[in-house]
């Protein structure tokens, strides 16, 4: 044994005594605590090897340094195993390898290139070429799982080469249940060595293996829907070729990093946290005032200083100690309450198997520069199915995971403090139900969702069929969506679950008792002339107002030149993140408008814009006959809830149809001053 090994063996072995049983627990944690009835030790920390073995101090490990680190890990894990039964895992780790067939050979000259097309463009299937220097790359990645070591590789995409990107295996059950030779999820860091290296503006990617999802679609569909209500990670599909062999289709999901913050919030500043998968203490429960208690359950992804934890601690304390009648006033200055209600509604409508409603964990947190905490989605691959995660029917008080789960499931669970505390406030409870109604009615309508499902399937079908290393059969790729036939679509299928879930929620007595929708027709105009195409993070400046409370988008059609319906969301406006007046982009994507939604006494042929309600739902009507006018964006704002309003003029061809969104977080964002599209002036009006 080398001197280096001897020096650190005891310390790391002691750490691995904790890591090893936790890794085993995370696959299927027993209810009520750790084995033996004690308190579980918290989230699994990464084993830190970089500083110890980076002998040339260049910030990453070369082959020789990695060999020494692997030898060290082998000795350490052996020592830990003698005390706790060793490492191991489910689904093949440590057992006989599952036979696999090598995939087809693919060269860069065989694939289409998409230079300049957005990395997360929904209609694009890029091919990523990863080249590792040594053939034992899979063994190295497995050895360095849950450490701070990344394996360098060369990435090729769209005819360009990116040297020394960092690769790691990631995930929990998506790692442990998948044997060597089959697809595992990977993290890709383009800035591993070259800190300025980016791909289409992004420094990192997460490539997911669609574990527990034979359809490949659940993550992308979930995030597509959530993006209409919350700042949400982007996702699409890519093909991955490793050392010349096709490994198949992966979900390409955006990393929760500063790139995401700039996309979603217009700034890279702030503090990021993650509540680990199935964390029993990371559900926003109050753990006292000591930041170390929170470090056990939450992973901070920004600079770790005691003061960085203050807002998180304060929010959990207020949730725990404030009576319902005073909770709004106490919580509003430090927590995005409305965003949390949207998050909870999305979570329970789509029944994520890793969701907060079930486990009280596996989410992201962001403290913005103003000191306000936001809860955001992290994982979505187990949504839209009645199958229980890990084969269980519920999970630690989570309740039954099926299409008829009640909207108020697990509201008595103290580990799910948001559900327990926020939904005890009548105002919040009503707003939560309104969001559930809107999501179920608009986003789970198969007439809208079905064509999107088919478009995604058509995009990835050939890549799925060609893959020899996928986790599920090609047959399951279809039957997991539709079942065996039209008469057999149980809630374990994607379509069956969505249809049954929608029917159940819209028929729920508490949702049926909500007030009927009435479109708003008043607003305070802040910006009369706004750009026609606004892409995150470009949003109209809120001006002197302290808080933007609503955003109204009005659409018209020009005689002889109809515009697509405008589809709006609180943050991302329109198809592909833009207000829907860019006919070329929308035509290229061949997106279909959603069906009509009519108010009392309104005629379909008179509709030229869109409707919405004050809770943030967005619905695009059918295009009617051409109406004179243009497309404009107006913001309605107020201070401390007080709104100044004035009536909107009626267009020559009919009333201005509006959609109104709560958009508190839009304040301070800048207008997009790029050159206007051809045929329009800077305000987006037709010339």
The reply to whether 156 and 227 lie within a common domain is yes
Q: Are 348 and 357 in contact (CB under 8 A)?
A: yes
**248 and 285 co-located in one domain:** no
CB burial readout 217-254, b (16+ within 10 A) else e: bbbbbbbbbbbbbbbbbbbbbbbbbbeeebbbbbbbbb
- Average pLDDT of every residue of the chain: 72
Segment 228-246 mean pLDDT: 96
pLDDT of residue 83: 36
| 267 found inside a domain | no
Residues 609-634 pLDDT 10s: 222 222 332 333 223 222 222 233 33
Please report whether residue 205 resides in a domain.
yes
- Supply the range of the domain harboring residue 542: 516-687
The domain boundary residue, chosen from 392, 415, 443 = 443
Q: Which helix (H) or strand (E) holds 154?
A: strand 151-157
Domain assignment of residue 479, yes or no: no
378-414: per-residue pLDDT in tens? Answer: 988 889 987 544 333 333 334 456 899 999 999 999 8
Mind listing the pLDDT tens digit for each residue in 75-89? 988 887 743 333 333
Do 653 and 520 share a structural domain?
yes
- Residue bearing the bigger pLDDT, 632 or 155: 155
Assign 6 a pLDDT band (cuts: 50, 70, 90). very low
Could you read off the pLDDT of 515-551 as tens digits, one per residue?
874 433 322 222 222 333 233 222 333 333 223 333 3
**Quick check: 17 pLDDT over 80?**
no
**Which position has the higher pLDDT, 173 or 311?**
311
**653 lies in the same domain as 613:** yes
pLDDT at 400: 56
Residue with tokens 């860069």: 108
Given a cut of 70, whether residue 269 has pLDDT beyond it is yes
Answer whether residue 365 shows pLDDT above 60: yes
The answer for residues whose C-beta is within 8 angstroms of residue 491's C-beta and 6 or more apart is 385, 386, 402, 403, 497, 500, 501
Q: Is residue 483 part of a domain?
A: no
The SS3 call for residue 599 is coil
What φ, ψ does residue 546 adopt, rounded to 5°?
-70, -30
26-35, 53-62, 118-127, 419-428: range with lowest mean pLDDT:
26-35
Q: Does residue 76 sit within a domain?
A: yes
**Measured distance CA(232)–CA(229) in Å, rounded:** 9
Site of tokens 């319902």: 324
What is the reported pLDDT for 100?
A: 83
Number of domains in the chain: 4
Same domain flag for 548 and 675:
yes
- Rounded-to-integer distance, Cα 176 and Cα 182, Å: 12
Q: Which two tokens stand for residue 214?
A: 């034979």
Q: What residues does 300 pair with on adjacent strands?
A: 273
Q: State the Cα–Cα distance between residues 646 and 631, nearest whole angstrom.
A: 19
Tell whether the model's pLDDT for residue 415 goes beyond 70.
yes
The rounded percent of the chain whose pLDDT value lies above 90 is: 56
Residue 4 backbone phi and psi in degrees, to 5: -60, -40
CA distance 83 to 338: 48
In a domain, residue 462? The reply is: no
Range from 239-243, 326-330, 627-631 carrying the lowest mean pLDDT: 627-631
- Of the listed ranges 95-99, 167-171, 339-343, 615-619, the least confidently predicted one is 615-619
Task: Give Cα 565 distance to the centre of its chain.
Answer: 26
**Is the same domain home to 298 and 439?**
yes
Domain membership flag for residue 236: yes
What CA–CA distance (Å, rounded) separates 498 from 255? 27
Residue 118 has, within 13 A of its CA and on its CB side, a CA count of 15
- Are 651 and 528 found together in one domain? yes
pTM of the model: 0.73
Residues 141 and 278 in one domain: no
Same domain for 430 and 288?
A: yes
The residue among 614, 530, 542 whose CA lies nearest residue 578 is: 530
**CB of 253 closer than 8 Å to CB of 235:** yes
Q: Is 452 exposed, middle or buried (0-12, 13-18, 19+ CB in 10 A)?
A: middle
Domain for residue 57, yes or no?
A: yes
Q: Are residues 145 and 74 in the same domain?
A: no
End-to-end CA distance of the chain: 78
Choosing from 423, 443, 463, the residue where a domain stops is 443
Instruction: Specify whether 145 is located in the same domain as 184.
Output: yes
Domain boundary among 393, 410, 443: 443
* Residue 185 and residue 67 share a domain: no
Residues 423-456 pLDDT 10s? 999 999 999 999 999 999 999 999 999 999 999 9
- Work out the burial of residue 11: count CB atoms within 10 Å of its CB; fewer than 13 is exposed, 13-18 middle, 19 or more buried: exposed
């Amino acid at each position: 044994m080398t001197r280096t090994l001897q020096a650190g063996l005891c310390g790391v072995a002691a750490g691995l005594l904790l890591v090893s049983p936790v890794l085993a627990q995370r696959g299927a944690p027993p209810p009520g605590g750790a084995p033996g009835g004690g308190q579980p030790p918290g989230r699994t920390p990464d084993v830190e090897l970089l500083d110890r073995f980076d002998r040339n101090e260049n910030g990453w490990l070369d082959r020789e340094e990695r060999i020494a680190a692997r030898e060290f890990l082998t000795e350490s894990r052996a020592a830990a195993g003698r005390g706790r039964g060793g490492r191991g895992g489910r689904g093949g780790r440590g057992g006989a390898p599952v036979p696999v067939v090598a995939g087809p050979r693919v060269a860069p000259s065989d694939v289409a290139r998409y230079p300049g097309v957005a990395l997360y463009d929904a209609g694009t299937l890029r091919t990523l070429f990863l080249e590792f220097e040594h053939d034992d790359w899979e063994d190295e990645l497995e050895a360095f799982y849950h450490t701070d070591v990344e394996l360098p590789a060369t990435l090729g995409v769209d005819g360009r080469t990116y040297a020394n990107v960092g690769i790691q295996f990631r995930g929990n059950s998506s790692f442990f249940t998948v044997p060597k030779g089959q697809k595992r999820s990977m993290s890709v860091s383009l800035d591993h060595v070259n800190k300025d290296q980016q791909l289409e503006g992004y420094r990192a990617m997460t490539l997911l293996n669609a574990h527990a999802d034979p359809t490949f679609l659940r993550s992308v569909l979930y995030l597509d829907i959530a993006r209409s209500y919350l700042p949400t990670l982007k996702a699409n599909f890519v093909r991955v070729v490793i050392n010349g062999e096709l490994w198949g289709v992966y979900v390409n999901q955006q990393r929760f990093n500063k790139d995401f913050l700039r996309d979603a919030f217009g700034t890279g500043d702030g503090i990021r946290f993650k509540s680990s998968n199935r964390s029993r203490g990371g559900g926003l429960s109050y753990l006292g005032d000591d930041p170390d208690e929170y470090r056990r359950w939450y992973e901070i992804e920004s600079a770790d200083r005691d003061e960085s934890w203050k807002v998180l601690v304060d929010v959990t304390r207020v949730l725990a100690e404030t009576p319902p009648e005073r909770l709004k006033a106490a919580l509003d200055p430090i927590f995005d309450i409305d965003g949390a209600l949207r998050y909870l509604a999305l979570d329970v409508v789509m029944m994520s198997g890793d969701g907060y409603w079930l486990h009280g964990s596996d989410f992201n947190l962001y403290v913005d520069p103003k000191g306000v905490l936001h809860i955001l989605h992290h994982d979505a691959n187990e949504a839209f199915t009645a199958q229980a995660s890990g084969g269980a029917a519920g999970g630690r008080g989570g309740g039954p995971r099926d299409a008829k789960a009640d909207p108020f499931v697990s509201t008595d669970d103290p580990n799910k403090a948001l559900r327990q505390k926020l939904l005890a406030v009548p105002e919040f409870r009503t707003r939560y139900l309104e969001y559930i109604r809107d999501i179920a009615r608009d986003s789970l309508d198969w007439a809208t969702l079905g064509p999107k499902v088919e478009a995604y399937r058509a995009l990835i079908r050939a890549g799925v069929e060609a893959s020899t290393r996928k986790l599920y059969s090609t047959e399951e790729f279809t039957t997991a969506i539709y079942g065996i036939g039209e008469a057999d679509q149980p809630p374990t299928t994607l379509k069956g679950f969505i249809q049954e879930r929608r029917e159940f929620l819209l028929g729920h007595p508490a949702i049926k008792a909500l007030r009927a929708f009435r479109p708003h027709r008043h607003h305070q105009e802040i910006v009369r002339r706004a750009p026609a195409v606004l892409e995150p993070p470009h949003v109209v400046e809120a001006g002197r107002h302290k808080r933007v409370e609503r955003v109204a988008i009005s659409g018209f059609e020009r005689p002889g030149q109809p515009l697509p319906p405008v589809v709006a969301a609180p943050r991302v406006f329109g198809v592909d993140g833009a207000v829907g007046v860019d006919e070329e982009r929308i035509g290229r994507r061949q997106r279909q408008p959603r069906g009509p939604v009519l108010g009392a006494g309104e005629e379909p042929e008179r509709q030229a814009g869109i409707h919405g309600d004050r809770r943030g739902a967005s619905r695009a009507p059918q295009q009617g006959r051409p109406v004179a006018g243009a497309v404009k964006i107006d913001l309605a704002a107020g201070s401390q809830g007080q709104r100044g309003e004035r009536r909107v003029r009626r267009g020559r061809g009919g009333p201005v149809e509006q959609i109104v969104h709560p958009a508190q977080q839009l304040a301070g964002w800048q207008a997009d001053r790029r050159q206007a599209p051809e045929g329009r002036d800077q305000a987006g009006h037709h010339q």
